Amino acid sequence: DDAIRFGFGIRWAQMGLFETYRVAGGEAGMAHFIAQFGPCLSWPWTKLMDVPELTDDLVKTIADQSDAQSGMHSIRELERIRDNNLVAMMRSLKGQNWGAGALLNQHDTRLRAAEPAVDFSAPIRTLARAVPIDWTDYNGHMNEARYLESFSKATDRFMELCGCDADYIAGGDSYFTAESHIRHINEANAGDQVYVEALLLDGQGKKMHIFNSLYHADGRLLATCEQILLHVSLETRRTTAPKAAVGEMLAMIQAHHDKLPRPEGIGRAVGQRK
C-alpha cells in the first residue's frame, strides 16, 4: 500500500510517464515496451479516453520521440539517474518528515528500537550508513560538508543516548554546539559503508566535550571531529545545568570512557605541527 501511495508521485516528478516506460522497455526502449505491454494497457486506457490503434507507424512515431527526448542516455544510465533522483527526493522528504520521508523515519525508528543495548564501556557507535551519491563532489569523493553532517547526526544520537532526546528538548532544554574541529584523514566514496564512534572526554556541568571518529567499514580512519557542546535553556537561550537524569548519564559514561586510551588528535589546532 505504501509503495503505491508514495511511489508513483516521486517517480513521475523526476521522469515523465513516457520516459518511465522507456526505462521499463529495457535496452530496446519504447518500441519494446509498447510491443510487450501495449495490448494489455489498451483496454484500461479505453475506460479513460478514445485510444488510437497501436499501428506500426504510431509505435515508430512514439519511439522516435522517445529517442529524441532521452536517447542520448543508455537505459542503464537512465536507471542510475532515476535511482539517484529518487534517493535524493526521499532523503529531502525525511528532513520534512512528510510522505515517503515520514515512512522512512518510522522505519528508522523501528530499526533503532531493535538495536542491541549500548556498551558504554567502549567508544559508542553513534552512526552507521552508506555514503549516498549526492554526498560526493567534483573531486569524486565525499564532500567536506557531509563530514560535518555525519558528525552532527552522530552527536544528535549521542545526545539521545544521554537522555537529551526529542521529549527532553520539547521540555525546553538542549545542547548547542560551541566549537567543532574536523580533521580529514582519508577519502570516502559513494557507496562506502562508514560509521562513527564517540568518546566522551568531559560531561561535567554545562559542558559536553566529545571526540568523534569516522571510520570506513574496513577499519580505516577517515576523519575526526572534536566538539564542545553547552547545555542551554531554549527559553532564555543561556547556558544552564542539565537535568539530573542527563547529568547522571553523562557522569556514568565519562567514568567508563576515562579508562579508555586517548585517541591521537585530541586538542589539535588548525596548522598545528605533529
Pair 247, 159 in one domain: yes
| Structure-block grid coordinates of residue 175 | 545542547
Pair 130, 228 in one domain: yes
Q: What is the rounded distance in angstroms from the CA atom of residue 224 to the CA atom of residue 145?
A: 13
pLDDT band at 66 (very low <50, low <70, confident <90, very high): confident
Domains in the chain, number: 2
Pair 121, 253 in one domain: yes
Pair 148, 244 in one domain: yes
Query: Does residue 61 form part of some domain?
Result: yes
Total-model pTM: 0.76
pLDDT band at 73 (very low <50, low <70, confident <90, very high): confident
CA-derived radius of gyration, the chain: 26
pLDDT (tens digit per residue) in 116-138: 889 999 999 999 999 988 899 99
Q: In what order do the strands lie in the sheet with 173-184?
A: 124-130, 193-202, 207-216, 221-233, 173-184
Residue with cell 605533529: 274
Query: Does residue 228 form part of some domain?
Result: yes
For residue 8, the Cα-to-chain-centroid distance in whole angstroms is: 21
Q: What is the rounded distance in angstroms from the CA atom of residue 56 to the CA atom of residue 188?
A: 50
Pair 129, 203 in one domain: yes
pLDDT (tens digit per residue) in 144-161: 999 999 999 999 999 999
Q: What is the rounded distance in angstroms from the CA atom of residue 175 to the CA atom of residue 240?
A: 10
pLDDT of 192 strictly over 80: yes
pLDDT band at 240 (very low <50, low <70, confident <90, very high): very high
Residue 84 belongs to domain spanning: 2-96
Q: CA nearest 206: which of 174, 179, 172?
A: 174
pLDDT given at position 84: 87
Any idea what the CATH number is for the domain that residue 223 is in?
3.10.129.10
Pair 35, 70 in one domain: yes
pLDDT (tens digit per residue) in 260-269: 999 999 998 8
pLDDT given at position 272: 66
